[in-house]
Copies of this chain bind each other. A is one copy, B any other.
Amino acid sequence: MLLQPDDIAQLPERQRAAFINCLSGFKSANLVGTVSASGQANLALVSSVVHLGANPPLLAFISRPPSVDRHTLEYLRDTGFFTLNHVHEDMLLAAHQTSARYPRDVSEFDAVGLTPCFSALHPAPYVEESRLRIGLKVRDTRPIELNNTVMVIGEIIEVQLPGEALPDDGFIDLARLDTMTIGGLDGYYRVMRACRLSYAKPDRAARELEE
């Protein structure tokens, strides 16, 4: 199947949105937790979290246009902090349900039955049911003029995850945490590890790392 500019332009809006959303490949599944200046908690499912760099430790996500976004962008700008919480299969329905359009005075935590929990370092709510929780300080919110979305960049200031100590090699196997991945607008996938591969060098083939 071959689609060129005219084919893409002629797709009906919903079919195009669903199709184009599949093309980037598998996406991360995170709940963004924020709180308003007056204390109203907000939770939103995002599939656009991306690693920016390890030093300083930066993550980013793409927010919908301010005219469409329901509170996340406003709250994280007001308070300066947000959380990211991995989505696992046993909390999937609740996580998906956060994308419904609830009124401003309704907390998605209450509406979908997830539990907020807090850190002494910042006011943004974590999701207790998530097994990997990240607290971030907002470093930048950059408009992307091409389609009026906004790139939110946060610096990691806290990580909460299972286990007593960080492995020496720093590798966290997300499949063991049952973290899910997203395909397209509404597809949710389980993940199984295939392999880890050694650092690639020009003069020898990469090999599988044993553990």
Give the B-binding residues of A (Cβ under 8 A): 1-5, 8, 11, 13-30, 47-59, 62, 84, 86, 89, 92-93, 96-103, 106, 111, 121, 132, 134, 139-140, 142, 144, 146-147, 149, 151, 153, 156-166, 168-175, 179-181, 183-202, 205-206, 209
When distances are taken between beta carbons in the complex, the residues of chain B under 8 Å from A132 are: 23
In the complex, the chain B residue whose C-beta lies closest to that of A19 is B170
A170 near B25: Cβ-Cβ < 8 Å: no
When distances are taken between beta carbons in the complex, the residues of chain B under 8 Å from A199 are: 186
When distances are taken between beta carbons in the complex, the residues of chain B under 8 Å from A186 are: 171, 196-199, 209
Shortest CB–CB separation between residue A15 and chain B, in angstroms?
A: 4
B93 near A197: Cβ-Cβ < 8 Å: yes
CB pairs A–B below 8 angstroms (26 shown):
A1-B159, A4-B157, A17-B54, A18-B169, A18-B171, A20-B51, A20-B53, A22-B170, A23-B57, A25-B30, A26-B27, A48-B51, A50-B62, A52-B149, A92-B195, A103-B202, A139-B146, A140-B146, A146-B153, A151-B151, A171-B187, A174-B184, A174-B187, A183-B191, A186-B199, A192-B192
Partner of A189 from the list B101, B171, B193 (CB cut-off 8 Å) is B193
Q: Chain copies in the assembly?
A: 2
Bound Cα distance from A166 to B184, whole angstroms: 14
Bound Cα distance from A84 to B20, whole angstroms: 13
A56-B146 in contact given A93-B205, A171-B22 (Cβ < 8 Å)? yes
Partner of A202 from the list B4, B15, B111 (CB cut-off 8 Å) is B111
Main SS class of interface, A:
mixed
Instruction: Given A8-B57, A15-B169, A187-B193, output 11 extra A-B contacts at Cβ < 8 Å.
Output: A1-B164, A1-B166, A2-B160, A4-B121, A4-B157, A24-B59, A26-B29, A96-B197, A103-B202, A180-B194, A181-B191
When distances are taken between beta carbons in the complex, the residues of chain B under 8 Å from A169 are: 14-15, 18
When distances are taken between beta carbons in the complex, the residues of chain B under 8 Å from A183 are: 172-175, 191, 193
